[in-house]
Amino acid sequence: MYEKAVKLVQSRRVEFLGNGAYNIIGDHGTYIVVQDFTGKLSCSCPGYLQKLRCSHVKAVELMTRHKQSSRQSRL
């Protein structure tokens, strides 16, 4: 799952839509990952609906962590 998430981020298939929403172009479809007011991420893909985890959510976590660390290093 981690390797697939890295691939999604590196191939620029994660798009920030605003207001805590992300569009993810996955291998089997396009899905929406959203962040609720508590910071919890969820995805519209069938895998997340069954297991409560997926590579799409992991990709958003990786992307947002990378952006936060990039911002902090510029300060």
pTM of the model: 0.86
pLDDT digits (tens, 9 = 90+) for 25-74: 998 999 999 999 999 999 999 999 999 999 999 999 999 886 655 555 55
- Cβ within 8 Å of residue 63, ≥6 positions away: 9, 14, 22
Torsion over CA: 43, 34, 67, 65 (sign): negative
Q: Where are the domains of the chain?
A: 2-74
